[in-house]
């Protein structure tokens, strides 16, 4: 059976590729999806993006049947206790990803209420952070 990994992208990430490319790069979410599908052909992926916090909570709840979850919560990182609580209720490997190095940016971006609810955090690696997150979940699945 192949691994199933859920990739969730939050608020404003649908604008990747043209929103502040000097910070977030020029790749779109479709580009990142293609990179992952091509790079991990034995993995079954499901990708979702939403700008609605309640919808993201619902997506997280759907992740229980997956081998792992990669989430880039965007700005929800800094204040969404609803996402934190939803992530805590899911017992699969979970990785928080940020394209930019949030620790080198504005001070308010350095605080995450999500990090305590996931197994690993990656920041500042651009799209490579998604690849590293998938590799982590693959390793976790080996036991």
For 12-54, write each residue's pLDDT tens digit.
898 888 887 776 778 899 999 999 999 999 999 999 999 999 9
| Confidence band for 142, pLDDT divided at 50, 70 and 90 | confident
Strands 120-123 and 94-98: parallel
Tell me the pLDDT tens digit for each residue of 82-111. Answer: 999 999 999 999 999 999 877 766 676 678
The helices-and-strands tally (H runs, E runs) of the chain is 5, 5
Active-site residue list = 24, 98
Contacts of 90 (CB under 8 A, 6+ apart): 60, 61, 63, 64, 69
Quick one: average pLDDT of 122-135?
A: 96
Instruction: Please report the domains of the chain, with CATH numbers, ordered by start residue.
Output: 4-141 (3.40.50.9100)
């Amino acid at each position: 059976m192949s691994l199933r990994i859920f990739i969730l992208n939050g608020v404003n990430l649908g604008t990747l590729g043209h929103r502040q490319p000097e910070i977030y790069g020029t790749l779109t979410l479709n580009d990142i999806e293609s990179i992952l599908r091509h790079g991990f052909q034995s993995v079954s992926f499901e990708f979702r993006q939403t700008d609605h916090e309640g919808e993201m909570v619902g997506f997280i709840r759907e992740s229980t049947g997956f081998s792992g979850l990669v989430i880039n919560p965007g700005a929800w990182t800094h204040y969404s206790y609803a996402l934190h609580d939803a992530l805590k209720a899911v017992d699969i490997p979970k990785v928080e990803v940020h394209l930019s190095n949030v620790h080198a940016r504005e001070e308010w971006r350095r605080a995450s209420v999500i990090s305590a609810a996931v197994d690993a955090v990656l920041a500042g690696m651009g799209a490579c952070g998604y690849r590293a997150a998938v590799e982590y979940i693959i390793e976790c699945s080996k036991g």
